[in-house]
Structure 1
Amino acid sequence: MISNVNRLSWAIGLVVLSLAGHAAAAAAPSENATINLIRLLVQQGVLKQDQADGLIAQAEREAVQARQAATTVAATPAGAPGDVRVQYVPNIVREQIRDQVKAEVMATAKQENWAQPNTFPDWVSRISFDGDIRLRDESRYYSGTNSNEIVDFARLNDRGPYDVNPNSSSGLPPLLNTREDRENLFRLRARLGMKAVIAPQWTAGIRIGTGSDNNPVSTTQTLGGGFGKKDIWLDQGYLTWKPSDELTLTGGRFANPFFSTDLLYSGDLNFDGVAANFNHKLNQDWGVFGTVGAFPVEYTNDTSTSNGSDKEESDNKWLYGAQLGANWAINDSNRIKGALAYYRFDDIEGQRSSPCQPWAGDPGCDSDGSRVAFMQKGNTVFLLRDITPNPLNPSTTPQPQYVGLASEFNLLDLNVAWDTDLPEDLKLRSQAHYVHNLGYDEGEMRKRSEGQFANNLDENGEVESGANAWMLQFTLGNSLELKREGDWNLFAGYKYIQPDALPDGFNDSSFHLGGTNAKGYFLGGNYGLASNVFATGRWLSSETVYGAPYDIDVLQLEINTRF
């Protein structure tokens, strides 16, 4: 270590100065003191034994020479020919000797790598790690008056197709649990990330995380399962270029680059694609920021249909986003941040197929790939396949179906957060978030689906849906970031999400257990148990906006850590 080198150079310098000082006084240096000092340095691990042996031999020779010189001086009369005079060594000269010895020792130590045994290569200093662990106890409570015939369309698409013809189907479609409570689910989220500074403007990052499956909105793993091992997924992997302090470009899989809330995008959601962020401070009180990005949601499968000679045409699904916002420090106690964004989901809606005949051996229908890759629940969906009935037995012709989204999604998004410093060192954050789907058009939905809607219908067969979602939330406490022991805050809010206000696959998976067509309140609190350790309690109560009753209450108790 460097401290060892400092001790070594100091000690050797001391020996040299000791010799010089004794020579100046014409007296022999203390042989025992020098040798004892060298042996002590060996015991402390500063010197190796072979180096110490050489120094001891040198000290003994110089001690003999000094004693001989002292004898000669004592025996020679003052001013007589042949006098031996030893000049006084000034302090500056002794300091130069010390610095020279120290430099030589340092060079030798670095070359032989004996004074820095615990040092690491340069690349190690450019890598950093971070992570978090969350332990959660979750209980889900369902109303006994809920409908028990709500189809799980996500599972139908994943495990289908499902025969919707009651004359030929032998079982029910996949159904959601709507009445049976699930209490004390012990759940874990664990994430570990690494960042590497490749060059002054380039950074690479990788993060792994838990998760029960590969759904994009949750990395929470439900424990149990016979103590079986848990899955680890690649949660992030990205490359960032920062050509200036105001501009950052990122590509790969990375955290949400937009200013948003979980009304639209889950806090666990990561984006695949590329994004550019800029942030410019106009003056002491004002700043502007913005983000643009392009994100592939899903690519057409090269092999669809797998056992058919005619493959599906390329119909890739993309998300394009652009956001512009501003920060304003109104005064010392009030700060506001707001942004307007536009998100365009290209080709995410389903497509009705050409006439097909799975019952006659067709491997699939040409619009099967238009079903969405991941969904939760709430969006209006329709049957994708236009299956031609078997003329020999039309009433019992199997109708194996997938479902697709009926609406387009082009979202206008407005987000505002206002932070206020209150007396008694309290802080208040007020948030409002509004989303409107510009692509919602019931006429176009009916034309696209050819009237084959599978949900969100009233008694007359008319679509019950809407294009608006909004959220209000208030957070009060002595801290909004919860970094220290004793930090605390309380929060409460309300959400209202119409069925087709936004894609149901990307928002918070806790409120109404994910998706759209939900409204209700949420409240809770956080308390700092230690530095970067805090406890959270949360209650979420929701019901459907339209359609059959489906009320869900969720209780979550957590311990969160960051490192």
Structure 2
Amino acid sequence: MKQTNWKVKVVLIALGAALCGGTAARAQSADSLLDLLVRKGIITEKEMKDLKQEVDADMARALARSNKLKLPKFLESLQLYGDARARFEYRNGERQGSDDDYDRNRWRLRVRLGLQGEYRENFFYGIRLETGSGSRSTNLTEGEGGPSAKGGNYAIQLGRLYLGWKPSDQVTVVVGRQEIPFVTTSLVWDDDLNPEGFVEKLSWQSEKVDVFANLGQFIYADFDENKFGGGGKEDVWMFGWQVGAKAKLPKDVTLTVAPTLYHYLNENNYSGNRFTGNGANNTAINDLMVVEVPMEAAFKAGPVPVKIFGDVAINTRGASRARANNDTAHNDQYWAYQAGLSLGASKKKGDWMLKAYWQHTELYALDPNLVDSDLFDARLNMEGFVVQGSYNFTDFLTGKVTYANAQDINSALPTLTGAGDLKNDLHQYQLWQADLSWKF
């Protein structure tokens, strides 16, 4: 309309009243009112069409304003996310050199709530709160503090807090408490861990191969460098260097290999210079320089996604680690490996996945403070298998069952670690877990 006459003014006033309801009500009221005005001869068909276009545009703008979270000008985006899990868990262990065993049944819960997004100038950020006070567990145990207790067991912790910068598609830098930056498996890292420090990621993509490098410098333990009267010591650092490639082969086959080196600075300051593997000292990180090589082949067998995966790790200073423990008889116990197969996927409603693998970890092979705390109870000198199955009931609700069975590799050596839920050195270990997880 090129001009607004008195009839249109009346219409606009009436429409203003009609637009005060909800979105669906506004649209229906406006259309009904315009139809009525045409039938009464107050406006023409053409005026009705023009007015309807204006009304639709105004409602779209109003809806966008009402749905848009007001952000500071320097923020590009903000996303809230989260997940929760209910779990029943059974653990059983048979003690070395005896028929005595240990059983533990637990009902457990987990909640993780996060916020992430992007700033202008190619920066991004994230924060995540979670249950669980242990570094390798986000679980809380129902009934642990008594009937319907709170606090302690139910406290919320800071799981992640980081700031990143991505000046180009090839370069990313992150500082803070963050997810594990390396391509790896549960053989070496528990996925509940969030290392603290600095990460640099480099990547180059091409039609046939993607090449990447992940570098990490993490604060392992903090100390006072100098104290009144002496007795100070330097902080302990862990460094990781990974260079890998993902080859894109014919028939939608991909092959990923990512060799990694882990090294420590001032490692004897953490827990002494003699790892024993038993109650005397099961957390020391002396004489560790681990080379890890995770690998994976992914393809489809008909409509079913298939992954063949493996991981091999060797402590290149394993013989020295054994000698520091006065254990020259077992100075070859420095290898660890994992090999397995997975079928299916777990992304949307109706998806299913089956996964099985074998794992072998010798006493002097790995950092005892990083290995997975569930599947083999955070223990070294253990080998066995893991079987898992999951099904997505909806896009947000997933069920999962896990069974693990392991035994000691060498009964003359200990298996006890500081993070294990069962006590003493074990000859045999079993785990059952039934999970129900949902996303927010």
Higher strand share: 2
Is 1:371 equivalent to 2:264 in the alignment? no
* Selected match of 2:254 from 335, 350, 366: 335
Q: Percent identity?
A: 22
Letter of the 1:210 partner, please give it.
Answer: T
**Cα deviations by residue, 1:402-458 (Å, 9 ceiling, x for unpaired):** 7763741101111110012112x112100010000012224x754x56x5xxxxx6x
Letter of the 1:253 partner, please give it.
Answer: R
Length, aligned pairs only:
390
Contact kept, 8 Å, 2:322 with 2:331, in 1: the verdict is no
Q: Determine the structure 2 residue equivalent to 1:413.
A: 292
Q: Distance in 1 between matches of 2:330 and 2:232?
A: 30
Q: Determine the structure 1 residue equivalent to 2:192.
A: 268
Contact kept, 8 Å, 2:96 with 2:411, in 1: the verdict is no
2:358 aligned counterpart, secondary structure:
strand
Displacement of 1:231 in angstroms is 1.2
The CA RMSD measured in Å over matched residues stands at 3.5
1:237–1:42 CA distance, 2 compared to 1 (3 A): same
Q: Determine the structure 1 residue equivalent to 2:34.
A: none
Q: Determine the structure 1 residue equivalent to 2:439.
A: 562
Q: Distance in 2 between matches of 1:253 and 1:289?
A: 22
Q: Determine the structure 2 residue equivalent to 1:298.
A: 221
Q: Determine the structure 1 residue equivalent to 2:314.
A: 436
Contact kept, 8 Å, 1:139 with 1:182, in 2: the verdict is yes
Contact kept, 8 Å, 2:276 with 2:282, in 1: the verdict is no
* Selected match of 1:239 from 163, 177, 181: 163
Displacement of 1:381 in angstroms is 5.0
* Selected match of 2:340 from 466, 473, 487: 473
For normalisation by structure 2, the TM-score amounts to 0.79
1:315–1:44 CA distance, 2 compared to 1 (3 A): closer
Is 1:517 equivalent to 2:381 in the alignment? yes
Q: Determine the structure 2 residue equivalent to 1:121.
A: 70
Contact kept, 8 Å, 2:359 with 2:384, in 1: the verdict is yes
Contact kept, 8 Å, 1:435 with 1:468, in 2: the verdict is yes
1:217 aligned counterpart, secondary structure:
coil
Q: Determine the structure 2 residue equivalent to 1:324.
A: 243
* Selected match of 2:396 from 521, 532, 538: 532
Is 1:181 equivalent to 2:103 in the alignment? yes
Displacement of 1:119 in angstroms is 5.3
2:356 aligned counterpart, secondary structure:
strand
Letter of the 2:16 partner, please give it.
Answer: L
Q: Distance in 1 between matches of 2:16 and 2:83?
A: 45
Letter of the 1:340 partner, please give it.
Answer: P
Q: Determine the structure 2 residue equivalent to 1:250.
A: 174
Q: Determine the structure 2 residue equivalent to 1:277.
A: 201
Letter of the 1:559 partner, please give it.
Answer: L
2:17 aligned counterpart, secondary structure:
helix
Q: Determine the structure 2 residue equivalent to 1:553.
A: 430
Displacement of 1:524 in angstroms is 1.8
2:393 aligned counterpart, secondary structure:
strand
1:526–1:381 CA distance, 2 compared to 1 (3 A): closer
Q: Distance in 1 between matches of 2:298 and 2:10?
A: 70
Is 1:38 equivalent to 2:26 in the alignment? no
1:346–1:147 CA distance, 2 compared to 1 (3 A): farther
- Unaligned residue ranges in structure 2 (runs of 5+): 22-45, 413-425
1:35–1:129 CA distance, 2 compared to 1 (3 A): closer
1:502–1:117 CA distance, 2 compared to 1 (3 A): closer
Higher gyration radius (CA): 1
1:41 aligned counterpart, secondary structure:
helix
Contact kept, 8 Å, 1:464 with 1:546, in 2: the verdict is no
Q: Distance in 2 between matches of 1:331 and 1:484?
A: 27
Q: Determine the structure 1 residue equivalent to 2:266.
A: 347
Q: Determine the structure 2 residue equivalent to 1:397.
A: none
Structure 1 segment 166-205 matched on structure 2, within 5 A: 179-183=101-105, 185-205=106-126
Letter of the 2:378 partner, please give it.
Answer: G
1:291 aligned counterpart, secondary structure:
strand
Q: Distance in 2 between matches of 1:117 and 1:135?
A: 36
Displacement of 1:335 in angstroms is 1.0
Is 1:380 equivalent to 2:299 in the alignment? no
Letter of the 2:397 partner, please give it.
Answer: V
Contact kept, 8 Å, 1:297 with 1:317, in 2: the verdict is yes
For normalisation by structure 1, the TM-score amounts to 0.63
Displacement of 1:473 in angstroms is 1.4
Q: Distance in 2 between matches of 1:200 and 1:506?
A: 35
Displacement of 1:370 in angstroms is 3.9
1:147–1:248 CA distance, 2 compared to 1 (3 A): same
- Unaligned residue ranges in structure 1 (runs of 5+): 1-12, 20-28, 47-90, 150-177, 350-368, 373-377, 384-400, 452-456
Contact kept, 8 Å, 1:542 with 1:552, in 2: the verdict is yes
* Selected match of 2:351 from 478, 487, 507: 487
Q: Distance in 2 between matches of 1:329 and 1:402?
A: 46
